[in-house]
Structure 1
Amino acid sequence: MTLHDGYGNALSTQSGAARDHYDQGVRLFLGADYGAGSCFEAAVAADPGFALGHAAHARALMMEGRGADAKAALSRAQATANPDDAREASHIAAFAALLSGQPGQARTIVAQHVRQFPRDALAAQLCTNVFGLIGFSGEVGREAELLAYTEALLPHYGDDWWMMSMHALSLCETGQIAASQRLMERSLALNPRNANAAHFKAHAEYEAGEQSAGRGYLRDWMQGYDPRGVLHGHLCWHGALWALHDGDIEEMWAVVDSGVKPGAMQGLPINALTDTAAIYYRAQLAGVDVAPERWAALSDFAAQYFPDPGQSFADIHAALSHAMAGKGDRLAVLAEAKTGFAGDLVGPVSRSWSAIARGNWSDALGALTTVMETTERLGGSRAQRDLLELAYVNVLMKLGHKDEALRTLRLRRPVLSERTPVAGMA
């Protein structure tokens, strides 16, 4: 008898227990909930020859930042795979390419894979989200491509809470806010504990300017979310950002210190770095004092986890941390960066942070102007890239161009033009 997973894909295991643990792990992983790794571990304990169980365990370990363990799990997947099973072979090959540092190859494999096996959710997942293989491609138009990707997959999934939430984000990031919110509500009705949907709902509320509603929703939703969940720290960042926009500085710092900054966030180092750097600088832009010790600690963290350029989204936040901490030697490495999916943009952004830290607003404007039309290539969501939008507006303000700053916001980010979180622009 052939067993199938929850999405109807045939599995090589003959163990019902392995299949059940695998399905539970897939549900937790797709919902960005904690515990997927333990489920996949239980699946391969029930059947050590279950190749896709090992592959899924590798993927979960990747998301826990345990690269060496992930490679070991993937090796077990490759050793137990059935070479005559096309789906299994392609599925594992995509994970292998990603783990070996070949994201472009992984993306090509996934694109081919989902044409034949569109409901293989764990493989399809690699190209979804703003942090996926399309989101971090460094390409112009990657938001439209992400929309096309999830739109093509959506009909294959019916009323599936996970795919609804993925497509809802694609809609949100291409400005289709109302459609995104409707689809997100359908997703959350089917699985209220889907952290991805809660996260993307926060983005939609941000884009709609509904900060009070978003802040209240997220505060309530977070009460049941395990701090070890992969999105916990990032959702804390959203809460801290809304507190900042509301002028609730005491709450902002409480959230930052309990769930965002390195040591408090239990998620991936990239999230701890980028979210902390962003909230620190956006707080400074709003007129909040950020202690030099905070920047110094963050610069040390960035130097430890991202010592060399190559992950462009992390690199621009590392550069910000080094600039604000006065670590010129560290910043110089990034200012000359050429590597990474958007490596050609990292240098100008790094030089702009250096100029900003020194109060050299003319040089900062010159450097930022070269990147503002293609910031999407750096990765992240629109809400995250508002760090650059607001930095640019602040530079214009410092140069005495307030009217131009307001026009820029109304054109590029109208949601921020009414209540601009930059001191002096009220």
Structure 2
Amino acid sequence: MLKDHYGNLISTSSREAQSNYDRAVHLFLGANFGAVEGFTNATTADPNFAIAHAGKARALMMTGDMPAAKAALAQAQACAAHSSPREKAHINLFALMLSGKAVEAREAVRAHVREYPRDALAAQLCSNVFGLIGFSGKVGREAELLAYTTALMPHYGDDWWMTSMHALSLCETGQIDLSLTMMEQSLATNPRNANASHFKAHAQYEAGATEDGRAYLTGWLEDYDDRGVLHGHLSWHVALWALQQGDETAMWKAIDTRVGPDGAKGLPINVLTDTAAILYRAELAGVEVTASRWKSLSDYAAQCFPETGQSFADLHAALSHAMAGEGDRLANITDTAKGYAGDLIKPMAAAWGQIARSDWTGALDSLIPVMAHTERLGGSRAQRDLLELSYANVLMKLGKTDEAQRSLSTRRPVLADAPPLAITQ
């Protein structure tokens, strides 16, 4: 048996399969386009290479092609008889994911990495704010993510992927300087690690480095394939910084060509959440957003997320429906909200509807029980600033300006000095 890049035994004797597998893992962990092709090449070189079929399934999941992902996983399971115990367990992790058993998958990953800590493609499932810990809906999930990457770090040394994952955990728990240092280390080893460029943008956002962050990410994106899974979301960061600098032309160009449904090539959850967030943050900052934009996004949300269950998507779908005046769609979310933070989605959906109707007193009542537990909804601090700013805006609409300022100063100091809210200007 050969070994992969991380030293794990793999059930193939084909050097070509091994090489293509390692390349595919490298591309996947760096959020670069081409992982599906790499895993396909590995299985072409060795059709019985079960874990490569599983890798292809995982890569297809990140393109949103779930039928093809399930077919690739079925092929992995069919070939798994002669695989090692690690590989069989690895394949089972993806089977749990694809069957929607997120809680079981999260616990299985934890157990797996204790025994096989350098199984990076498996460890990846619980890393990042969009992973199984990030979308757990649990209080303290940011600290849990930091504990997870902290435990794995000694097994990876200066590996560029794990360094960037740990740097994000540090960033989301407020350790910005150390996060930036580690991000630079990751990028020095692999400058085209899109995860590191993304997380560097988060750290720069948290540091209030708007000008430097926008310049850095704009330049980095020039050489990033627009089919890469993070292309649209990185463009959202650029659009957000353009908004903060008052460059509406650049903001709308990014939204229309790289972030929104008409231009982005990424996952529907990113297209929906990023577009809804930037549109409403633009409105909060005093930028006019046409009704047609909200209607188009509401239609997209209804098409891609017709049923509730993915709370982070439901949060932004509800916002889109409320701002578009689609009461029936909004009511469906309010009535059927489920998933890891479904109990928070119901009051948030009510709040968005009240905000759309300028019922500021009702909106405040709906928001208050949510604001203590916003981390449960998922996403990064930068993404959840949508809620922080909405809450502050509602307070100011009610004449509670001092309370709004205290809220931002204590909860999100990075926004407090110059809140991007039109009512303060």
Shorter-chain TM-score range? over 0.9
1:211 aligns with 2:213: no
- In 1, Cα distance between equivalents of 2:16 and 2:111: 31
2:421 equivalent to 1:422: yes
Which residue is equivalent to 1:127? 126
Query: Alpha-carbon deviations, 1:357-383, whole Å to 9, x = none?
Result: 000000000000010010000000000
Is the partner of 1:424 in helix, strand or coil?
Answer: helix
1:371 and 1:405 map into 2 onto residues whose CA distance is 16
Matched, 1:413 2:416: no
Which residue of the partner structure matches residue 48 of structure 2?
A: 49
How far did 1:89 drift?
Answer: 1.1
Match runs of 1:377-396 below 5 Å: 377-396=376-395
Alignment of 1:63-142 (within 5 A): 63-82=62-81, 85-142=84-141
Q: Distance in 2 between matches of 1:395 and 1:374?
A: 18
Aligned pairs for 1:237-248 (under 5 A) are: 237-248=236-247
Residues in 1 aligned to 2:87 and 2:424: alpha-carbon distance in whole angstroms:
56
Per the TM alignment, residue 263 of structure 1 is displaced from its structure 2 partner at its CA by 2.4
> 1:109 Cα shift?
0.9
Deviation at 1:83, TM superposition (A): 6.0
Taking the TM superposition and a 5 Å limit, the aligned residue runs for 1:236-385 are 236-385=235-384
CA distance in 2, matches of 1:317, 1:218: 25
For residues 147 and 68 of structure 1, the distance between their equivalents in structure 2, rounded to whole angstroms, comes to: 33
Residue 338 of structure 1: CA displacement?
Answer: 3.8
Rounded Cα–Cα distance in structure 1 between residues aligned with 2:175 and 2:61: 32
1-structure distance, mates of 2:137, 2:74 = 29
In 2: Cα distance, 1:237 partner to 1:29 partner: 21
Question: 1:126 is matched by which residue type in structure 2?
Answer: L
CA distance, structure 2, for counterparts of residue 338 and residue 288 of structure 1: 31
Q: Where in structure 2 are the equivalents of 1:154-169 lying within 5 Å?
A: 154-169=153-168
- Which residue pairs with 2:8 in the alignment? 9
- Asked if 2 retains the 8 angstrom alpha-carbon contact of 1:62 and 1:70, the reply is yes
Q: Distance in 2 between matches of 1:368 and 1:41?
A: 47
Alpha-carbon distance in 1 for matches of 2:336, 2:342: 6
* Deviation for aligned residue 1:84: 6.3
Q: Which residues of structure 2 form unaligned runs of 5+?
A: none
Q: Which residue of 2 aligns with 1:61?
A: 60
Mapped partners of 2:137, 2:82: distance in 1? 33
CA distance in 2, matches of 1:137, 1:213: 33
Query: Conserved in 1, the CA contact under 8 Å of 2:10 and 2:84?
Result: no
Q: Deviations over 1:219-247 (max 9, x none)?
A: 11000000000000000000000000001
Counterpart CA distance in 2 for 1:186 and 1:78 is 38
Q: Would the aligned equivalents of 1:83 and 1:89 in 2 still touch at CA under 8 Å?
A: no
How many correspondences in the alignment? Answer: 425
Asked whether the 8 Å contact 1:21–1:39 carries over to 2, the reply is yes
User: RMSD of the TM alignment (CA)?
Assistant: 0.7
Structure 1 equivalent of residue 201 of structure 2: 202
Question: What residue number does 2:19 align with?
Answer: 20
Taking the aligned partners of 2:330 and 2:315, their CA distance within structure 1 comes to 10
| 8 Å CA contact 1:240, 1:252 repeated in 2 | yes
- 1:55 touches 1:77 (CA, 8 Å); kept in 2? yes
Contact 2:11–2:83 (CA under 8 A) maintained in structure 1:
no
Aligned to 2:174, what secondary structure does the other structure show? coil
TM-score, structure 1 as length reference: 0.99
Post-superposition shift, 1:337? 3.3
> Given residue 425 of structure 1, which amino acid in structure 2 is its aligned partner?
T
1:74-101 residue CA offsets vs partner (Å, 9 max, x unmatched): 0000010136621011100100000001
2-structure distance, mates of 1:260, 1:59? 23
Q: Which amino acid aligns with 2:275?
A: T
Aligned equivalents of 1:337 and 1:246: distance in 2?
39
State the 1:419 CA deviation.
1.6
> Secondary structure of 1:336's match?
helix
1:82–1:88: 8 Å Cα contact kept in structure 2?
no
Counterpart in 1 of 2:188? 189
Task: Say which SS state the counterpart of residue 247 (structure 1) adopts.
Answer: coil
Q: Which runs of 5+ in 1 are unaligned?
A: none
**Structure-2 residue corresponding to 1:170:** 169
Q: Which amino acid aligns with 1:374?
A: H
| Distance of 1:249 and 1:406 partners within structure 2 | 25
The superposition leaves residues 340-359 of structure 1 with CA deviations (integer Å, 9 ceiling, x where unpaired) of: 11000000000000000000
- Which secondary structure state, in structure 2, belongs to the residue aligned with residue 310 of structure 1? coil
Q: What is the CA-CA distance between 1:271 and the residue it aligns to?
A: 0.3
8 Å contact 1:44–1:54 — kept in the other structure? Answer: yes
Q: 1:225-284: CA deviations, max 9, x gaps? A: 000000000000000000000011111001111100002110000000000000000000
Q: Which amino acid counterpart does residue 69 of structure 2 have in structure 1?
A: A
Separation in 2, partners of 1:51, 1:308: 33
Q: How far apart are the structure 2 equivalents of 1:208 and 1:84?
A: 47
With the length of structure 2 as denominator, give the TM-score of the two structures: 0.99
Partners of 1:34 and 1:228 within 8 A in 2? yes
CA contact 1:36–1:60 (8 Å) conserved in 2: yes
Find the residue that maps to 1:82 and give its secondary structure: helix
Once the two structures are overlaid, the 10-residue window that deviates more, 333-342 or 138-147, is: 333-342
Task: Say which SS state the counterpart of residue 421 (structure 1) adopts.
Answer: coil
